[in-house]
Amino acid sequence: MSMSDAAIPKTTLLSQSKSIDAEKWLCRLLIVLVCVWLAIVVVFPIFQLLSKSLKDASGNFVGLANFMYYFKTPALSASLKNSFFVSVMTMLISVTLGFLYAYALTRTNIPFKIFFKGLAMMPLFAPTLLNGIALVYLFGRQGLITRGFFGTIPGWNIGLYGPAGIIISEVIYTFPQAMLILFVALQMTDARLYEASASLGASGARTFFTVTLPGMKYGLISAIFVCFILAFTDFGAPKVVGGDYNILATDIYKQVIGQQNFVMGAVVSVILLLPAVIAFAVDRIVQRRQVALLSARAVPYEPKPNPRFDALMTAFCAVVAFLILDLYFVLVQRYHRLRVWKVVQRYRTRRASREPGKAPAGSSKQDPIR
């Protein structure tokens, strides 16, 4: 025993060892509780889902017969094709817009970078259901843009209720995720690589394809799979603006709630789950390699002034920011209009109740929002 150990009282050493043991047992208990909770809310429901999909309505085991029936029925299997189409289109548009927006924030000298970045993250705090409702107010059959702002200008009907409406709503929702992932990936690029490329006389296009894209390849792959998963598994936007265009998420709702067909609902759920799990696994692998790059020391890139290109990217960011603000401004305006309408209706009802035999004025009119 050393002199320092002998100077410490035995009671102090015992109390410290007991406190360490208590912390270890507390950590073990918390880990067990988390595992039990995950087993109850994740593993058990998935197991029930898988078992339900392998049985018929009577509870007899039928194997993959339900899946064979699903793929042989054109009306049902079309939902899978529609889901892939919507997800791929959403992924392409969101990643493209997110890359341009992130490139403008990291590779140019545009003004108001903090404002543009904060505004681009607004759709993160709104569900896709809200995005669909806002699109209905703008591009629905009685929407502001469809009617040409009450007939003042020619209207524009985009055919909202279908794949177009779903894709637009999903792009609004997945754009912030793609932008943030690509923003981080672009910030990680080492400025010394650009200096070496410039000293070797490489052009801007060659530098982009040999330095920028390879440096952000893991972030680009991650953004692709994140956008695909979010669009593939979403229910809110297809339910509001999907119309008769069926996808897997709404198909589950129709099978379970509409037809009370729990077996086919379980089959569709498993089909929806498999591509999402595969995409999630690939995304996790890519994220691990992305984290490995984060530990490397890199010199931050300082963009050089380019008036024309900076003005172009400023205009692009301003258009995107205006579209996002316009979308939520319509929601706020409609909300206040609904409140005013309700106050007027309440006043008319009270006034009519004081005059027996007289119906409330405007009582036969519908909600102005519809």
Instruction: For tokens 């927006």, name the residue.
Output: 101
CA distance 81 to 111: 43
Nearest-10 crossing angle of helices 163-187, 128-139: 130
341: pLDDT confidence band, cut at 50, 70 and 90? Answer: low
Residues 41 and 99 in one domain: no
Residues 241 and 318 in one domain: yes
Domain membership of residue 117 (yes or no) is yes
Rounded mean pLDDT, 240-249 = 87
Whole-number pLDDT of residue 347: 65
Residues 25 and 170 in one domain: no
168: pLDDT confidence band, cut at 50, 70 and 90? Answer: very high
CA distance 253 to 53: 16
CB atoms within 10 A of CB 191: 13
Three-state SS letters, 294-310? HCCCCCCCCCCCCHHHH
367: pLDDT confidence band, cut at 50, 70 and 90? Answer: very low
**Percentage of the chain with pLDDT > 70?**
83
Residues 6+ apart with CB under 8 A from 113: 105
CATH code of the domain in which 142 resides: 1.10.3720.10
Whole-number pLDDT of residue 18: 60
296-311: pLDDT as tens digits: 566 777 888 888 999 9
Domain membership of residue 293 (yes or no) is yes
Q: Residue 35 is part of which domain span?
A: 16-53
CA distance 336 to 319: 26
Domain membership of residue 364 (yes or no) is no
Least-confidence region, from 4-18, 35-49, 137-151: 4-18
CA dihedral 194, 196, 198, 201 (to 10 degrees): -140
Whole-number pLDDT of residue 20: 64
Residues 259 and 165 in one domain: yes
Domain membership of residue 355 (yes or no) is no
275-288: pLDDT as tens digits: 888 888 887 787 77
The total domain count for the chain is: 2
Answer yes or no: is pLDDT of 170 > 90.
yes
25-78: pLDDT as tens digits: 888 889 999 999 988 888 888 888 888 888 887 778 888 888 888 888 887 778
Whole-number pLDDT of residue 308: 92
Residues 170 and 261 in one domain: yes
CA distance 287 to 282: 9
Residues 162 and 47 in one domain: no
Residues 37 and 112 in one domain: no
Structure tokens at 308: 């024309």
Answer yes or no: is pLDDT of 174 > 90.
yes
Residues 30 and 111 in one domain: no
CA distance 263 to 105: 49
Q: Judge contact between 174 and 87, C-beta under 8 A.
A: no
Domain membership of residue 63 (yes or no) is no
Domain membership of residue 367 (yes or no) is no
Whole-number pLDDT of residue 176: 93
Whole-number pLDDT of residue 4: 47
Structure tokens at 26: 């507390």
Residues 88 and 228 in one domain: yes
Q: Can you say how many angstroms the Cα of residue 74 is from the centroid of all Cα atoms in its chain?
A: 29
Q: Judge contact between 134 and 327, C-beta under 8 A.
A: yes
Domain membership of residue 164 (yes or no) is yes
Residues 162 and 126 in one domain: yes
Rounded mean pLDDT, 141-166 = 82
Q: What is the residue-averaged pLDDT of the chain?
A: 81
CB atoms within 10 A of CB 232: 22
Distances (CA, A) of 128 to 124, 204, 228, 256: 9, 38, 15, 22
Domain membership of residue 309 (yes or no) is yes
Residues 331 and 255 in one domain: yes
Residues 43 and 104 in one domain: no
Q: Judge contact between 271 and 248, C-beta under 8 A.
A: yes
Whole-number pLDDT of residue 293: 57
Instruction: Break the chain down into helix, strand, coil percent, rounded to 5.
Output: 75, 0, 25
Q: What is the pTM of this model?
A: 0.78
Beta bridge partner(s), residue 55: 61
127 SS3 class: coil
Q: Which is it for the CA torsion 128, 131, 136, 139, positive or negative?
A: negative
76-106: pLDDT as tens digits: 778 888 999 999 999 999 999 999 999 999 9
